[in-house]
Amino acid sequence: MSESNVVTIAGKEYEESSLDDQQMYLINQIRDLQAKAANLRFQLDQVHAAQDVFTNGLIASVEESDEDEVEKSAVN
C-alpha cells in the first residue's frame, strides 16, 4: 500500500493522488518558491551579519582615529 501526501488548501485536506497535473504543477511551483524564499532569508541573515562586522570595524577605526587626534592635540 503506497502512501499519498496530503496537501491542505484553505483548511481542507486533499490527497495528492486526487489532484490533476495542473494542480500538482502549481503545488510544485509553490514548494520550490518556499524553498527559494527560505534560502534567500538564510543568505540575507549572512549579509546582515557581515554588514554588522564591517560597520563595527568602521566605527572602531573612526573612534581610534579620533582618539589619536585628541592625543596629538594634547601633546602640542
| pLDDT of 73 | 77
Domain residues for the domain of 52 are 20-75
Q: Is residue 3 part of a domain?
A: no
Number of folded domains that form the chain? 1
- State how far the Cα of 18 lies from the Cα of 5, in Å rounded to an integer: 10
| pLDDT of 1 | 47
| CB-based burial label for 46 (10 Å; 0-12, 13-18, 19+) | exposed
Helix (H) or strand (E) holding 12: strand 12-15
Q: Is residue 13 part of a domain?
A: no
pLDDT, tens digit only, all 76 positions of the chain: 456 799 999 999 999 999 999 999 999 999 999 999 999 999 999 999 999 999 999 999 999 988 888 777 777 6
Closest of 38, 16, 67 to residue 8, by C-alpha: 16
Q: Is residue 29 part of a domain?
A: yes
Q: Is residue 14 part of a domain?
A: no
Q: Is residue 65 part of a domain?
A: yes
Q: Is residue 4 part of a domain?
A: no
Q: Is residue 35 part of a domain?
A: yes
Q: Is residue 1 part of a domain?
A: no
